[in-house]
A and B are shown apart, each in its own frame.
Chain A
Amino acid sequence: MSKLKDASIPTIPLQARISRWFGRNMIRIYALFGFTYLFIPVAYTFAFSFNDSGKSNLIWKGFTLDNWQNPCGAPEICNALGNSIKIGFLATVFSTILGTMIAFAIGRYAFKGRSTSNLLIFLPMATPEIVLGASLLSLFLVFHINPGFWPTVIAHVVFCISFVVVTVKARIASLDPRLEQAAMDLYANEFQTFRRVTLPLVAPGIAAAALLAFSLSFDDFIITNFNSGTLTTFPKFVYVSAARGIPAQANVIGSAMFFLALFIVIAGQFIGRKARVAK
């Protein structure tokens, strides 16, 4: 369309054409700057995962694949990574189950106390992380529970639940109620309708919520720092070693997580599209 226009008015001077092109694509150019800003540190982290740096990864010293071949080479790093994965897994399972149940209750039913429930879900998101972390630590100290693995899991479930509820609720809200009515018309009982129609339709939302919960938990530092005691997680490892230089293996793990998550999300979208086409 725009090409046709350009061709029909060939006498426009070049300068005006350039300024028109900029006018039309300004928003895209601006967005490109935004994406560049977002990806500069990611690219930097990835590039420096190949740095032949020894202990401190501050200055580029030469290309090597050693760090990728030996990601556990830095002391403690894989222990920290293992803890982060275990905590992330448990926090994801618990928060996804609890959050999905809440999302169904709030998204599906009109009941007394619904708006209060919404508020209770919103509050943890509106509370600064440092207050969440500090208040939980105080509670654990009152009950003489030492900070460590399980307190950290509990703390992560607290802040993940709200995000799960919001994500799943949005999916439930976008469902076409006629699909369930159709199932009921075809003599499915409530349970069958739920299992065969509602749940499969909401499943992508639950999967997205679980992925979100895991990445929130895996990446959390502030709340973890308050409740984990001497236990090291991957973000804690990075924070502590930031003072004396982060080993390149941390960049390897960060980059690997990035590509893994990207792969999962893109594969998920691909499967989703295929499923839709198959229907």
Chain B
Amino acid sequence: MSSTLSKIKLPYLLLLPGFLFLFTFFILPIVNLAQTSTQTPIAGGDTGQYEQSLRFANYLNAFTENKEQFGRSFLYAISATILALAIAYPLAYAIAFTAGKYKNLLLVLVIAPFFTSFLLRTVAWKQILGEEGFVVPPLRTLGIIGESTTLTSTSFAVIMGLTYNFLPFMTLPLYASLERIDPRTMEASGDLYANGLTTFRKVTLPLSMPGVVAGTLLTFIPAAGDYVNAAILGNPNTKMIGNVIESRYFKIVDYPTAAALSFTLMAAILILVTLYIRKAGTEELV
């Protein structure tokens, strides 16, 4: 009796410490952030002093003041996600189906750039694409880009940086789902007179959809909230919503607006992600 009882309890005992921790340091902060988002400045108080109220106008103000940055965040994040998918899919495909015994080594190589600090790599891109790097001068000489055109401090550089930084997050789930595909399904498709493209469209791609969905989410979500790439590779006109939240917190000490912006960002991401998962039709994620 007591042993069956402890068997029922065991999973809960295992969960308890971790969930207590997540409750205290993940759920509570989010709830607290929700409270902060409707606070008002104390009349006559110092900067950074706020009192609790239910001022939902914070949301409206935060959104209308930063529409541009919101739009840009999603535009950049979606572009980066599509680019990353275009680069990562063939990469994952090559590793899964043509690498043979080098599979594991190549997988390690996909993760390996991670180990050099991502900030160092982002700064490296800034210098590579900069005026003294090895990309701009030859392109100028060839006349591909004009004398006054620069590659750094542009939307192009920010999107490229985002694509670069989240590429492994796209590649690994894609690889995981491609690797699971039985190659015989593709052979069968070929036996039934499908050409390579049809086989890919009707067999490989549908079977790899869980990987596509997981990879796009793992790329899109962090990319939409990122501000490091925009700060290092961009200019004041390429600021993303992350840059606004960061400066509201640290430079302006406007906690309610920063909190409202954070929530709007999260809500927008959640809505997009839900729509996307519905459309892509996979429920295997969670």
Contacts and interface: CB of A to CB of B under 8 A. Distances in A.
A30 B116 contact: no
A111 B30 CA distance: 27
B32 A221 contact: no
Given A27-B93, A126-B217, A238-B123, A35 B109 contact: yes
Given A37-B87, A117-B15, A254 B117 contact: yes
A38 B113 contact: yes
Interface string B110-150: 11111111111111111110101000000000000000000
Interface residues of A, number: 81
A137 B249 contact: yes
A98 interface: yes
Nearest to A139: B29
B36 interface: yes
Chain B interface, >50% SS class: helix
A87 interface: no
B186 interface: no
A45 interface: yes
Interface stretch (A5-13, A14-22, A255-263): A255-263
Nearest to A30: B90
Contacts of B162: none
Interface in B63-121: 87-88, 90-91, 93-95, 97-98, 104-105, 108-121
A131 B119 CA distance: 20
A215 B29 CA distance: 25
Interface stretch (A70-78, A102-110, A180-188, A198-206): A102-110
A122 B30 contact: no
Contacts of A175: none
A64 interface: no
B123 A246 contact: yes
A111 B29 contact: no
B112 A261 contact: yes
B210 to A, nearest CB: 13
Interface of A: 27-28, 30-31, 33-35, 37-42, 44-45, 48, 58-59, 98-99, 101-102, 104-106, 108-109, 111, 115, 117-120, 122-132, 134-139, 142, 154-155, 157-158, 161, 215, 218-219, 221-222, 225-226, 234-235, 238-239, 242, 246, 250-251, 254-255, 257-258, 260-262, 265-266, 269
* 8 residue pairs, one from A and one from B, having the closest CB atoms: A128-B225, A31-B94, A135-B29, A261-B115, A41-B124, A105-B14, A98-B18, A109-B11
